[in-house]
Amino acid sequence: MVTSRYSVPEGGKPGSAGEEELQRLRAELASEYDLKEGAYRFGDTDFSFLSVMDSYALLDRISPEEFVKDEQMPYWAEIWPAAVTLSHVLMEQMEIAGKSVIELGAGVGMASVAAARKGARVLATDYSTEALKFAVYNALRNGVQLETGRLDWRMVMTEEKFDIVIAADVLYERVNLLPIVTAIDSLLAKGGAAYIADPRRRLAEEFLKLVEENGFTVSETQSHDATGDRTIAVTIYKIERVAT
């Protein structure tokens, strides 16, 4: 279910209400986290994204009771190579202006912000409300408009449909694979497509089998993103319903 949706207005110029809100959010996040800000370029557009300096430092915030309930880890706090690759593809290869887009597991909102900059109507979702604070900040920081909302993949109860579903590096727990497939099925509009970016995790094969068993076809492209002295291979899976 998508809950607590929040609309992020386009960022303002220095001295405007938008800039004041940006400074307020930055101060609020800085009081809770050690922050880092990174510069990225997708297509011919420069972006800046705020994330957490050390996601492992957040482990102490998770109580044993919370972990037993949801086994939630603070993966949202980092910017993963798959999100970078997906953002490149959204900005450089896809025609999405005017289309409705929902991101699953948006984390700090990189791909959602890229989609919004390309002209899409975007809803960035994550299970973590902490993540959504960063997504709101990063949308304002990059001057784009989008909505955010908390979403539990296991319980998608909405009639709203989207032209495009996107997700980056979400295939890391076997227990999540079928919920992601059913979430795509629930959220994808007729004729739409989902794009899942994954760094070739072993669980991707199981996920693709579930996708095909549930009436979808899959095509894939491969891309690479350099990270420091390493090159990370990322595959983007395009998922569409079987034509009837």
* Residue with more model confidence, 35 or 56: 35
Average pLDDT in the chain: 88
Average pLDDT rounded to a whole number, residues 146-165: 92
Q: Does 215 map to a domain?
A: yes
Alpha carbon separation from 179 to 58, 129, 152 (Å, rounded): 25, 19, 9
* Residue with more model confidence, 107 or 15: 107
Q: Does 81 map to a domain?
A: yes
Structural domain count, the chain: 1
Cα 129 from Cα 77, distance rounded (Å)? 11
Beta strands 2-8; 146-151: pairing state: antiparallel
201 in helix, strand or coil? coil
Q: Does 135 map to a domain?
A: yes
- Which of the 8 DSSP states describes residue 78? S
Q: What does the pLDDT look like over 165-180, one tens digit per residue? A: 999 999 989 999 999 9
Q: What is the pTM of this model?
A: 0.90
Structural domain range at position 115: 6-241
Angle formed at CA 210 by CA 238 and CA 99, multiple of 5 degrees: 30
Tell me what pLDDT residue 10 has: 72
Q: Does 120 map to a domain?
A: yes
pLDDT classification of 62: cutoffs 50, 70, 90: low
Q: Does 1 map to a domain?
A: no
* Residue with more model confidence, 216 or 67: 216
217 in helix, strand or coil? strand
Q: What ranges make up the beta strands (E) of 9-138? A: 35-42, 45-52, 100-104, 121-126
CATH code for the domain of 112:
3.40.50.150
Q: Does 153 map to a domain?
A: yes
Q: What does the pLDDT look like over 184-224, one tens digit per residue? A: 999 999 999 999 999 988 999 999 999 999 999 999 988 88
